[in-house]
């Protein structure tokens, strides 16, 4: 009978990926040095020797305990063993010593030995995933102010709106616009205008620290604030304080007919989301209220509940 151990050792031990070879029942017949090292480095979370243990059973046990990724792994491995798929890929996270790592599992039949074996490879893709996460985070940030951009605002509002609808909670939405920003740019230059936007973004970020809150640069000199699970009275106090803090910055704008410093107008609406009212309606209502504040002279807030 063909002795697979020397063959596996020659073929797979030099590979940097963590490799295990299983039979049709899921029993492990070989693990390479990288797999064994991964087990020994995992603070006893994993067996130090997998030889002879059943990998499919380990996945099934984890799936029964509620691990959905383990269930997907189990199904994927069986689909390759049964010939339903030529290969199977799965990316999954792991945490060791409070550090998050990412791995990719690849499952393929080991046809060069016989039809009875399947190879499972685990590749560390942590650096790639961290880079992807950094790129994704950067894509949500306004480069000038450092707060969220319009894209992230749209995504966040949609998600928070649905959450508040499920939990029957109010959501408050404020639209803000710098009064006579053109006068500031014309008088002091665009560099001063940019510095003004940065300072206002910093003020907004101090008022949106909860997971249910977000501030964003909506476009130009216009900003937006989302306050999840926040009724109108509380939201109005927050926005009033926010406008007061912006006045306290005393950013010069001597050409403004309102005051010789930068001021902001705001429109605020509070909604109990239902299937009949979507997030677009909330934005439109807050925007209408913003222009009502502008029409009344600026440097103030207009608010109402959207029913």
Residues noted as catalytic:
221
Phi-psi map region of 297: left, alpha, beta (phi>0 left; psi -120 to 50 alpha): left
Cα–Cα distances in angstroms (integers) from residue 187 to residues 183, 184, 190, 192, 258, in the given order: 6, 5, 9, 9, 15
- Rounded Cα distance, 10 and 289, in Å: 73
Question: Three-state SS across 191-250?
Answer: HHHHHHHHHHHHHHHHCCCCCCEEEEEEECCEEEEEEECCCHHHHHHHHHHHHHHHHHCC
Helix (H, G, I), strand (E, B) or coil at 57: helix
**In residues, how long is the chain?**
307
Run of H or E including 188: helix 181-188
Q: How many CA atoms lie within 13 A of 175 on its CB side?
A: 24
- Rounded Cα distance, 275 and 247, in Å: 39
Helix (H, G, I), strand (E, B) or coil at 92: strand
């Amino acid at each position: 009978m063909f002795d697979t151990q020397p063959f596996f050792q020659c073929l797979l031990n030099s590979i940097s990926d963590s490799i295990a070879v299983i039979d049709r029942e899921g029993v492990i017949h070989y693990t390479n040095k990288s797999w064994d090292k991964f087990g020994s480095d995992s603070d006893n979370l994993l067996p130090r020797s997998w030889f002879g243990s059943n990998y499919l059973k380990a996945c099934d046990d984890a799936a029964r305990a509620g691990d959905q990724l383990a269930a997907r792994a189990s199904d994927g491995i069986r689909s390759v063993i049964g010939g339903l798929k030529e290969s199977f890929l799965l990316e999954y996270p792991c945490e060791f010593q409070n550090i998050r790592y990412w791995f990719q599992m690849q499952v393929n039949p080991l046809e060069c030995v016989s039809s009875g074996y399947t190879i499972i490879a685990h590749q560390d893709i942590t650096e790639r995933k961290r880079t992807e996460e950094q790129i994704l985070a950067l894509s949500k940030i306004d480069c000038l102010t450092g707060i969220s951009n319009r894209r992230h605002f749209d995504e966040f509002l949609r998600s928070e709106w649905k959450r508040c609808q499920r939990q029957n909670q109010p959501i408050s939405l404020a639209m803000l616009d710098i009064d006579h920003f053109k006068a500031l740019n014309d008088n002091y230059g665009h560099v001063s205008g940019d510095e003004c936007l940065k300072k206002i973004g910093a003020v907004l970020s101090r008022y949106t620290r909860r997971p249910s809150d977000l501030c964003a640069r909506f476009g130009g000199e216009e900003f937006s604030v989302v306050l999840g699970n926040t009724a109108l009275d509380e939201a109005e106090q927050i926005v009033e304080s926010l406008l007061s803090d912006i006045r306290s910055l005393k950013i010069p704008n001597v050409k403004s007919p309102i005051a010789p410093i930068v001021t902001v107008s705001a429109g605020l609406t509070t909604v109990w989301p239902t299937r009949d009212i979507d997030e677009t309606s909330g934005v439109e209502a807050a925007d209408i209220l913003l222009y009502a504040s502008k029409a009344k002279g600026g440097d103030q807030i207009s608010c109402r509940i959207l029913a």
